[in-house]
C-alpha cells in the first residue's frame, strides 16, 4: 500500500474541490444539514468496523472509541441543527434612507464560505478530531468542500470514515469534489495541500511543531490563508489556599483520575499543578502520589507518541530542582505510558522554559510557591493555554482578583473547581486559547461557533429584494434571527 497520494492526484482533488465550492456554496442550509446528518448515519452504519479498525490502529479502549464515535455523530447532527438555525450567518440589515443627505443606501451583510478547507486529523482522536470530525463538520456547514489528510497512525480508520462521507455525498447528490481523502506520510503532501492556491483555510489538531509549520507555510503563500491549529497546552491548575485547607485530599483524588485518563493523551490534560507550599499541599501531594502509584500503565496511541513521552519526561525529570514524587507501582511494558508525578519550586519553574513544555502523556508537575506573589509570578511567565483551572473558594476568588484576572487572560476556557479534561460539545464551549495553544485564539474548534472559522462576511449594497440571498430577503424566508437597523429580530422587514 502506498503511503502518499501522488501529486497529480492531489492536484486533481484540489481542482475538483474548487469546482465543487462554486456549486455547494449555493446549497441551502437545509441541504447542507441533511448531508451532515446523512454522514452521521453512514458512520453509525459502519460503527462496528470503524471501532474495531480504530482499536487495532490506536490502542484506545473499545469503550472510549464507542463514546468518541457517538461524540462524532453528535457533532455532525448538532452542527447540522446549528447550520439550519442560521445564527452563524450573522445576518445584518440596514435599510435605505433616501431622505438623508447624502442618501443612505440599503446594506445587508451575511457570512459566506471561504472555499476549500484542508483538514489534518489528530492522532489522539481518530474519530472526533479526524476525517469526519469537528473541522470537517464545521467546514461542510459553512459551505466549504473538505480535503482531509488522513493521519498515518490510523489511516485505515480514516479511509473508512472517508467512505462513509462519500457514501453520504452520493446519497445527497453532492457535487463531485465535495470531499476527498489524501494519504500523506511525508512532509511534501502536507505542504502541497497548504500551499495550493485553491485551499482557502486549514484545520489542524496536533503538535506545536506540526501546527506552527502549517501556519508558517500558510503565511508564505502569495495569498495568506487562515490556519486553525490546535497545538499543545499544559493546562495549569492553580490550587488556592482556602480551598486546599478545606479539601486537599478530595481534589487530589479527582486529579489522579484526570491526569491519567486515557494515558494522559488529551490536549486538555492537566500538566501543571501550582500550589502554596504548606501542610495542605503536602496532604495533596501525599494523596495524589498514592493515586498515581495505583494507576496501571496502559498502551499509548502509537510508538512515536510513546517515545516522545519518555523523551520529554526524562528531559523534564533531569532538570535541576525537579523531584520525582511518584510513578505507577507497576512497571510499564513496551509502548505503555508510565503514570508520573514530579515537583519543582516556583523559582526553578520560572527560570527554566523546558519545564513549561507539554509532556504529552500521563505526567504532571507540581510547582511549589512560597506565597500568592510567587503564584502570580508563575502565572505571569506562562504562555497561552487551552484551559486554566482555579481550585478555589469564593473567598479565594474574591481576595485574589489580580491573580484570577491574570490566569483568565492565559486561556480560552476557565474552569472553577473541576478538571480540564472533558470538552463539552455545545455553543458556549471555547476550545482554543492564546498562542501557542492555538494559532488563532479568536475562534473555537469545538461547538457550533467553530463554523465561523470557515466564513467571511459579504455586504450587499443596493440589491433588489428578489435578487438577494434568502437570508437577507425582506420576508425572512429562513426565519432566522437577524439584526435589522441595530435590533435583533426574526420579523419580516416592511418596506416603506
Catalytic residues: 230, 267
Site for a second copy in 197-256 (CB under 8 A): 215-216, 219, 223-224, 226
Which one among 92, 191, 253, 290 touches a second copy, defined by CB under 8 A?
Answer: 92
Nearer to a second copy, 345 or 483 (CB): 483
Which one among 175, 294, 299, 418 touches a second copy, defined by CB under 8 A?
Answer: 418
Site for a second copy in 372-391 (CB under 8 A): 383-384
* # residues near a second copy by CB under 8 A: 77
**Residue 105 sits in the site that holds a second copy (CB under 8 A):** yes
Which one among 164, 415, 471, 478 touches a second copy, defined by CB under 8 A?
Answer: 415
Cβ atoms within 10 Å, residue 99: 7
Nearer to a second copy, 26 or 170 (CB): 26
Provide, rounded to whole angstroms, the least separation between the CB of residue 199 and a second copy.
13
Which one among 209, 318, 320, 462 touches a second copy, defined by CB under 8 A?
Answer: 462
**Residue 417 sits in the site that holds a second copy (CB under 8 A):** yes
Distance CA 351, CA 374 (A): 13
Question: For strand 455-461 and strand 272-276, is the pairing parallel, antiparallel, or unpaired?
Answer: unpaired
Provide, rounded to whole angstroms, the least separation between the CB of residue 389 and a second copy.
9
Using the contact rule CB under 8 A, the part of the chain among 90-98, 148-156, 158-166, 332-340 near a second copy is: 90-98
Which one among 3, 9, 307, 394 touches a second copy, defined by CB under 8 A?
Answer: 394
Provide, rounded to whole angstroms, the least separation between the CB of residue 166 and a second copy.
25
Binding mask 292-331 for a second copy (x = CB under 8 A): ----------------------------------------
Nearer to a second copy, 6 or 197 (CB): 197
Nearer to a second copy, 8 or 102 (CB): 102
Provide, rounded to whole angstroms, the least separation between the CB of residue 23 and a second copy.
10
Which one among 197, 457, 477, 479 touches a second copy, defined by CB under 8 A?
Answer: 457
Site for a second copy in 26-85 (CB under 8 A): 26, 81-82, 85
**Residue 430 sits in the site that holds a second copy (CB under 8 A):** yes
**Residue 93 sits in the site that holds a second copy (CB under 8 A):** yes
Distance CA 323, CA 317 (A): 7
Amino acid at each position: 500500500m502506498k503511503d502518499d497520494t501522488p501529486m497529480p492526484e492531489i492536484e486533481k482533488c484540489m481542482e475538483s474541490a474548487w469546482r465543487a465550492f462554486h456549486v455547494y456554496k449555493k446549497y441551502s442550509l437545509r441541504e447542507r444539514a441533511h448531508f451532515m446528518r446523512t454522514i452521521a448515519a453512514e458512520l453509525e452504519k459502519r460503527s462496528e468496523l470503524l471501532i474495531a479498525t480504530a482499536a487495532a490502529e490506536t490502542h484506545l479502549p473499545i469503550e472510549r472509541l464507542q463514546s468518541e464515535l457517538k461524540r462524532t455523530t453528535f457533532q455532525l447532527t448538532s452542527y447540522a441543527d446549528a447550520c439550519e438555525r442560521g445564527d452563524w450567518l450573522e445576518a445584518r440589515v440596514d435599510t435605505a434612507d433616501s431622505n438623508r443627505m447624502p442618501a443612505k443606501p440599503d446594506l445587508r451583510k451575511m457570512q459566506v464560505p471561504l472555499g476549500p478547507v484542508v483538514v489534518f486529523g489528530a492522532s489522539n482522536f481518530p474519530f472526533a478530531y479526524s476525517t469526519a470530525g469537528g473541522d470537517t463538520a464545521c467546514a461542510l456547514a459553512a459551505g466549504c468542500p473538505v480535503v482531509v489528510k488522513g493521519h498515518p497512525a490510523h489511516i485505515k480508520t480514516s479511509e473508512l470514515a472517508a467512505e462513509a462521507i462519500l457514501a453520504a455525498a452520493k446519497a445527497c447528490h453532492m457535487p463531485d469534489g465535495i470531499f476527498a481523502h489524501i494519504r500523506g506520510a511525508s512532509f511534501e503532501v502536507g505542504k502541497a495541500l497548504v500551499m495550493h492556491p485553491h485551499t482557502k483555510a486549514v484545520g489542524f489538531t496536533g503538535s506545536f511543531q506540526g501546527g506552527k509549520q502549517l501556519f508558517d507555510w500558510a503565511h508564505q503563500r502569495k495569498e495568506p490563508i487562515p490556519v486553525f491549529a490546535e497545538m499543545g497546552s499544559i493546562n495549569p491548575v492553580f490550587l488556592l489556599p482556602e480551598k486546599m485547607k478545606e479539601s486537599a485530599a478530595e481534589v487530589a483524588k479527582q486529579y489522579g483520575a484526570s491526569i491519567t485518563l486515557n494515558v494522559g493523551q488529551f490536549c486538555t490534560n492537566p500538566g501543571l499543578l501550582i500550589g502554596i507550599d504548606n501542610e495542605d499541599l503536602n496532604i495533596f501531594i501525599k494523596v495524589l502520589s498514592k493515586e498515581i502509584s495505583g494507576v496501571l500503565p496502559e498502551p499509548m496511541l502509537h510508538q512515536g507518541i510513546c517515545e516522545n513521552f519518555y523523551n520529554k519526561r526524562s528531559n523534564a525529570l533531569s532538570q535541576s530542582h525537579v523531584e520525582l514524587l511518584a510513578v505507577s507501582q507497576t512497571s510499564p511494558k513496551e509502548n505503555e505510558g508510565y503514570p508520573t508525578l514530579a515537583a519543582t519550586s516556583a523559582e526553578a519553574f520560572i527560570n527554566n522554559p523546558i519545564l513549561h513544555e507539554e509532556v504529552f502523556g500521563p505526567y504532571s508537575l507540581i510547582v511549589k510557591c512560597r506565597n500568592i506573589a510567587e503564584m502570580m509570578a508563575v502565572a505571569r511567565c506562562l504562555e497561552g493555554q487551552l484551559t486554566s483551572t482555579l481550585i478555589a473558594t469564593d473567598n479565594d476568588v474574591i481576595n485574589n482578583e489580580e491573580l484570577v484576572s491574570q490566569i483568565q487572560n492565559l486561556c480560552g476556557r476557565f474552569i472553577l473547581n473541576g478538571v480540564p479534561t472533558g470538552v463539552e460539545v455545545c455553543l458556549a464551549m471555547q476550545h482554543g486559547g492564546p498562542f501557542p495553544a492555538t494559532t488563532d485564539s479568536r475562534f473555537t474548534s469545538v461547538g457550533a461557533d467553530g463554523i465561523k472559522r470557515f466564513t467571511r462576511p459579504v455586504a450587499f449594497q443596493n440589491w433588489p429584494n428578489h435578487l438577494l440571498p434568502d437570508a437577507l430577503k425582506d420576508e425572512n424566508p429562513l426565519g432566522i434571527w437577524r439584526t435589522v437597523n441595530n435590533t435583533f429580530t426574526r420579523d419580516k422587514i416592511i418596506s416603506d
